[in-house]
Structures are given as C-alpha cells and as structure tokens.
Amino acid sequence: MNAAADVQLSGEAFREVLEHLDVGVFIVDAERRIQYWNKGAEKLTGYKTAEMIGISCRVDLRMHVDLAGNSMCEDNCPLQAAMDTGRPIQREVFMRSADGHRLMVNLKAVALHDEHGRPNGALQIFSDLSLRQDYLQRLSQLKNVADADSLTGLRNRRYLELVLERGLQELKRYQQPFGVIFIDVDDLKAINTRGGHSAGDAALRHVGYVLNSKIRRDDVVARWGGDEFLVFLDGITPVRLAEIGHALVAGVAAVSALSGREVQAVTISAGATMGREDDDVETLLRRADAAQFHSKQAGKNRFTMTE
C-alpha cells in the first residue's frame, strides 16, 4: 500500500519558511502596498522590513526598472501582470538598493487569491544577478588580457586579481568561504648563480607543475611574479586549507628540478589565510605574505597558517 501524507503549513509556519530562504521575498496587497518583506530581501537590498511595510511599489523609486532603464511601476509591473492574468511572470530587472547601486535581479511574481478565488495580492521572489553580470563583464575583460604566464603556463597575476575580487564579492554577499596560499621559491637567486638563468627557469617550471598537480580541479594557481606563486582555493575550510598548504610544500621538496647536468633541489616557503568579509585584495595578500615570510624566517621549506 502506498502511503501519502498531506502536509499543511500554517500561516506562521509558512512565514518561518520564507524567513530562512536565501532569496528575497515580498508580498503586496491588491493596491501593491507591501505587506511582507523577508530577511532575504533585507540582505539583498539593504532595506529593513520596518521601512518597507506599507510602501506602495507603484510610486516607490526602489522598485523595478527594466534593462533599458525604463520604470516598470505603471504600465509594465510584473506584480500587476500576475494579478491580471493569473499567470506567473518571470523577468530580469533592476532594483535600487539601499546604498544607491543598481541591483540586477531575476524575479518571479505570482498572484495570490482570497477564499473566493479572486486576486487580492501578489508574491514576488527575487535573486541577485549582479555577480553574474559582473562575472560576464570580467570574462569579457579577460579576452583582452593574456591570462597565461609564458614561462610556467599557469595563470598570470592579472587573471588571479580578477578571481580574488570575485571571491571577495561572493564572501561578502553569500558568505562563500575561500582561502589563499602565498608561495615563494627558496633561494632562487642561488640557483641562478650556480646554474644560470636556465636553472632558475627550470626551478620555476618545476614548482609550477607540482603546485598545479596538487590543487583541486576548481582551484586556481598563478605565477604572481618573479619567484612568487599564489593559489586561490574556493569553498574551503581552514583545516583543509592547511592540509593542502602542507601538501604543496612537501610535494615540491619531494621532486628535484633538473638544472643542466646537475639535479638541483628546490623548496618553497608558503603562507595561507582565509578571506575575511572586511578584506580587500591588498589586506588579504598582505596577511598571506606575512605568513609566508614567517615560514621563510623559520628556516624555509615550511608552511604557516594565519588567522
């Protein structure tokens, strides 16, 4: 026998569900006055529930503007269209956030009905597309930037700077964690002195190869410049970041780079840190570089994790 259970949500339970969604949700009455504004809407727009309840989206400048910049609050309102047609309406539009910037959102408006089936309001769900828009713009920029390091074949500094900026945006908006590992090749100058610049180049290629072979598929390793490398690790925990950092140091030391007729040992000093919501690229890298410097001062061929 198949068993089926009808689950009925009370008004309070339904509200509790809406409050825990990561998307914005608001409800308007038949006159399009806002009656409900969830925490997701607060987070995405910066507007608090207390200041939004009772506002008519028909006249409020915070509401919808189409992608061409035209107001949608009169003749092209998705909430009104949902109530008039009885069909869900889905569009990509702009809203104005509390700090004044335009927020690109994907919205879906659905009509609500009274006990007689007559439309008496509408519910709208919206999610942020601004990061997607920014990401597409960044990808477009990258088409005009040589993103590969000519010596190692890894990503270059310019490419990873864009990755870091995007990582910080996602951390601040969605609390998506990430970590970075700053790496310096030990004694590259001495390697160049003993074996010439070809030996130094071989050492750098060796380090780049080992680093790239030991990171996860979606992580990014770049030659930051000179004898420095940087690794970006998305969606990582501090414990896992430390494990990978130690593995990178051990991996480079375990293999020797060929230098002319000699086999020249190569090691690295590495330092790692997790991204913070109050970081910018400069503060993030300064902290990781300081951890790397600590490894260097402690004897090289080491890994240091910092808060």
* Mean pLDDT over the full length of the chain: 84
pLDDT at 1 over 60: no
Residue 150 pLDDT exceeds 90: no
CA distance 260 to 269: 24
Domains 11-128 and 132-305 share a fold: no
- What are the two backbone dihedrals, phi and then psi, of residue 61, each rounded to the nearest 5 degrees? -75, -10
Alpha-carbon distance 62 to 72, whole Å?
Answer: 11
> What's residue 229's pLDDT?
98
Q: Topology of 132-305 in CATH?
A: Alpha-Beta Plaits (3.30.70)
Higher local confidence (pLDDT), 157 or 3 = 157
pTM value?
0.57
Q: What is the pLDDT of residue 60?
A: 60
DSSP, res 264: E
The residue type of 103 is L
pLDDT score at 74: 74
Confidence of residue 258 (pLDDT cuts 50, 70, 90): very low
Which CATH code is given to the segment(s) 11-128?
A: 3.30.450.20
Q: Where are the domains of the chain?
A: 11-128, 132-305
221-242, pLDDT tens digit by residue? Answer: 999 999 999 999 998 999 999 9
Q: 150: burial class by Cβ within 10 Å (0-12, 13-18, 19+)? A: exposed
Percent of the chain surpassing pLDDT 70: 83
